[in-house]
Structure 1
Amino acid sequence: DGWAVAGPGPWAFVAGAGILAGHAPATALPDGAAVRIATGARVPPDTTAVIRSEHAYADEAKGLLHAERSVATGQDIRPRGQECRSGEQLVPAGTVVTPAVLGLAAAAGYDALPAVPRPRVDILVLGDELLAAGLPHDGLIRDALGPMLGPWLRALGAEVAGPRRLGDDARALRDALATSDADLIVTTGGTASGPVDHVHPVLAELGAELLVDGVAVRPGHPMLLARLPSGPSGAHTAGRPEGQRDATAEQRKESPDGPYLVGLPGNPLAAVSGLVTLVEPLIAGLAGRPAQDAYRALVHAEVHGHPHDTRLVPVVHRAGRAGGRDHVAPLRYNGPAMLRGIAAADGLAVVEPGGVRSGTEVEILDLPWAPATPWTEGCFT
């Protein structure tokens, strides 16, 4: 708050509330005059400058305002076009709509923004051996992927339903796939060729197109990517009242294809490999965003490789010592069934067949969060 002044001082003023925010000034400000003005209010025409209240002295008895500092023309006045010009692009197409983007759009006078809806993802957890609560016992183990996948996918910008636990029931899996209205279905387990691995047979029964059937990566080589066929009208809208389809379902009517399916291996770290290499770029594409760019960093220790396949190894970034380069340190607990290493990681190192020596540059795939714990020589490493 302060004073709008015109011309050189001292300035004559009249007692009163002055000009408040949200109220346009009635008249131009005559030379030698001052008027109180609130922050955010529109300045009167012919205003020379605004003087902050703490930088001025108002002599109420004489009705004169004196500046206690030098006054520069235009000071503390936000001119039109200061932040953007008329017709200037504020937000390019493809920008992620963050809270700050919403604020900018509102400030510019927009009531709504055209946006690609968040991709809808269904999570289906397979396996009779999985427990949803309590301690492992009698050959039963805790489901680690169900609790992990929802937050991970939301961090990638998806709208997530589930997880739904189907056990090793082929009919339940078929029904879930046939009635899903999601853009993407993520399954856990059942992608190999064991007696209760039903993903491949059910996809074949539904006439799905298998786009990726295994990847030369460890852990995670049994991962798969498929495209389900579009069923009869309404086949992918189960659970919604007739006539109530979401925006993504309306978009799907334009395409002869149904939702995508990513089959993640049941081992937790193997599933992480599929999340980073298949699910993340697929969600980015469905949302109209570019996939993340990999980059290279020095690895701080020797990393053993697989004889034939690429390895994805959890790493954490470390600042270099004085004069040294920043680098990544591999984390020790990196077996396909382990989550101890990835829980402390902030990236995955792409290790070529045969491994790499300490000091070698490797490609890094970021994880969608900051590291959970400071890097130490402790229990995570």
Structure 2
Amino acid sequence: MTEGEFDAALDDALALANEAVPTGARRDPADGRREPASGPFGPFDPYGVDRPYGGRDAYRASGRDDARRAAPDNESARRADPGNASGTSDTPDAARPAPVDPPAEPLDPAPLAPCPWPTARDLARRAAPGPLPPEKGPLGEALGRTLAAPLAALTDLPSFDTSAMDGWAVSGPGPWQLDAPAAAAGILAGHAPAAPLPDGHAIPIATGARVPAGATAVLRSEHGEVRERSDGRTRLYALRPAPPGQDIRPRGQECRRGDDLLAAGALVTPAVLGLAAAAGYDELTTHPRPRVDVFVLGDELLRHGLPHDGRIRDALGPMLGPWLHALGAEAAAPRHLADDPDTLYEAIAGSRADVVITTGGTAAGPVDHVHPTLRRLGSEELVDGVEVRPGHPMLLARITAHRHLVGLPGNPLAAVSGLLTLAEPLLRTLSARRAPAAYRTPLWSSVHGHPRDTRLVPVGYREDERYGLMAEPLHFHGPAMLRGIAAADALAVIPPGGGDRGTEVDLLELPWPADWSPPAAGQGLTGGAE
């Protein structure tokens, strides 16, 4: 049995060994007890922070450097077609597209493969030199980007004294003489008052309208009564007191011109767009979303219909685009490529995206062409294998100074693992997004660990009288399965050796809110087999 076959069998055995526990109601994580993390790798940020690691010396001492892939001995062999023993290529170099930028200088020496999961995430976070250059554009194009500069108010908010209610603007104590018939509209939003309001007078006013000079309060419609006097004049009486300032939003109540409303790095949400518009902005300066090309590899993949004749449906193509968008990227429609080295080379070399993501082809099988293609491009491999299950044959490479490639395994859940391990930290740096808060939550039930690798296990939130919010491991979490992650709130980071019920583990929360619905029969660890 090869090492790869042994690892696959071990993964399957671990997936089947988890204890059966009923699935419980999933709760909003904000309702539960979650504390800042401190985990098996030291102070824990699941989205990548600096921390000390063993590096090369630790790997050499462990004897695991034997697994590292040997590199070609000369430059011509590295750039040649891997299937051509002479080191030459049938396709002229001039006919092949080349990267725009020259290869970058190495950031740090890459650790020997495979590297620990926290190390891989930290390397991915630091792989890019910094965020993409800021761009100025219309408000409608800024959604999902991050502010490149503080958002300062261009005007007072509100910019004038405003009525907070429909009713009457009144001056002084009542009763008041009405300056307009009871049926008149009075002062409407968007219309300036014609004249100051004299003491002892009132005039109808609409919500959002500018309060006239001289007004001391706004009396709500339901709190006033209009009466006709015998002399033909109309008077307004208060059914409740109208103290000075009542239901008037004073100028500058929310902010004054020049006030900093949001700091640089804030994510532009729909509410931020509204605030920017109210504060006087037509354009915003933001860091753009990184552009991503997705190449789905594999002759066995179908894009339509049911599996047949040994071929299977492509699950990653439909999933990766929306997932990348949620992570702050702008992903082009996935391209499906045949298992052909020249096709893959031309696709990667011709891409002008900030990040290229491939699925499958990261191992060393007869049709796994990602590693040879990266050598052919002269790329620098930053991560070649990660000590994580599922997904250990993932990789990260620097194609040029400002372009990177993330190689995801072909199995669906393993690809998700690679996406959150390597792509998310890289995209976060490029888009200048802040790292989400790190959380630790107790396990609802015990989880068997890999002897040496971190495990990422789909979990749902569940409430417990003793522990509060807990993470319940979900069933169907094998490398090729998506059923567990589809119903999950997060991925639990299970250290080598596993964890018992009540053991606090770090969480990778999924990048979208999800309305909970009960899992289908067999979804929890009880009542189903993988």
**TM-score normalised by L of structure 1:** 0.89
Task: Identify the residue that residue 435 of structure 2 maps to in structure 1.
Answer: 291
| Cα offset, 1:53, TM superposition | 1.7
Match of 1:43 in 2: 211
CA shift, 1:342, in A, is 1.1
Report how many residues are paired: 353
Residue 52 (structure 2) aligns with: none
- 1:138-177 aligned at under 5 Å gives the runs 138-177=309-348
Q: Name the amino acid aligned to 2:203.
A: V
Q: Name 2:242's counterpart in structure 1.
A: 71
Rounded Cα–Cα distance in structure 1 between residues aligned with 2:516 and 2:197: 60
Deviations 1:82-104 (CA, angstroms, capped at 9, x unpaired): 11233221111001111110100
| Cross-structure match for 2:174 | 9
Cα deviation for residue 374 of structure 1 reads 3.3
2:497 aligns to what?
354
Residues 477, 485 of structure 2: 8 Å contact kept? yes
Q: 1:196 to 1:356 in 2, by over 3 A?
A: same
Residue identity in the other structure for 2:438: A
Cα distance in 2 for residues equivalent to 1:89 and 1:188: 43
Closer, same or farther: CA 324–308 of 1 in aligned 2, 3 Å: closer
Describe the superposition over 1:54-90 as per-residue Cα deviations: whole angstroms up to 9, x where unpaired: 2111225422111111111110100112112332211
Paired residue secondary structure (1:297): strand
TM-fit CA distance, 1:291 = 2.6
After TM superposition, the structure 1 = structure 2 runs for residues 16-165 of structure 1, keeping only pairs within 5 Å, are 16-60=184-228, 61-165=232-336
Are the counterparts in 1 of residues 179 and 201 from structure 2 also a CA contact under 8 Å?
no
Look up the equivalent residue of 2:470 and give its one-letter code: H
2:459/2:474 contact within 8 Å kept: yes
Provide the C-alpha distance between the structure 2 equivalents of 1:129 and 1:294, rounded to a whole number of angstroms: 39
Alignment partner, residue 308 of structure 1:
452
For residues 275 and 294 of structure 1, the distance between their equivalents in structure 2, rounded to whole angstroms, comes to: 18
User: Matched residue of 2:244: which SS?
Assistant: coil
SS in 2 for 1:216: strand
Q: Is the 8 A contact 1:184 1:259 kept in 2?
A: yes
- Taking the aligned partners of 2:245 and 2:435, their CA distance within structure 1 comes to 46
Residue deviations 1:120-172, cap 9 Å, x none?
11110001111111111221111111111111111112211021000212111
Instruction: Read off the aligned partner of 1:158 and give its amino acid letter.
Output: A
Report percent identity of matched pairs: 64
Cα pair 1:344 1:372 within 8 Å, conserved? no
Q: What residue is the counterpart of 1:236 in the other structure?
A: none
**Separation (CA, whole Å) in 2 of partners of 1:349 and 1:282:** 21
- Contact 1:280/1:291 (8 A) holds in 2: no
Three-state SS of the structure 1 residue aligned to 2:441 is: strand
1:218 & 1:17 partners in 2: Cα distance?
69
Q: Give CA deviations for 1:219-257 in whole Å, capped at 9, x if unaligned.
A: 11110111112xxxxxxxxxxxxxxxxxxxxxxxxxxx2
1:294 is displaced (CA, Å) by 2.9
Equivalent position SS for 1:162: coil
Of the three residues 385, 391, 409, the one matched with 1:214 is 385
Alignment of 1:198-213 (within 5 A): 198-213=369-384
Measure, in 2, the Cα distance between the counterparts of 1:369 and 1:101. Answer: 18
Counterpart CA distance in 2 for 1:110 and 1:260 is: 34
Match of 1:335 in 2: 478
Q: What letter corresponds to residue 329 of structure 1 in structure 2? A: E
Q: CA RMSD in A?
A: 1.6
On the 8 A contact 2:487/2:519 being kept in 1, the answer is no
Output the CA distance in 2 between the equivalents of 1:223 and 1:46: 71
Gaps of 5+ in 2: 1-165, 525-530
Instruction: Name the CA distance, whole Å, in 2 between partners of 1:22 and 1:206.
Output: 62
Q: Compute the displacement of 1:315 (Å).
A: 0.8
- In the alignment, the residues of structure 1 paired with residue 224 and residue 419 of structure 2 have an alpha-carbon distance, to the nearest angstrom, of 61
- Are the counterparts in 2 of residues 294 and 366 from structure 1 also a CA contact under 8 Å? no
Distance change >3 Å, CA 335–CA 210, structure 1 → 2: same
Distance in 1, matches of 2:179 and 2:484, equals: 71
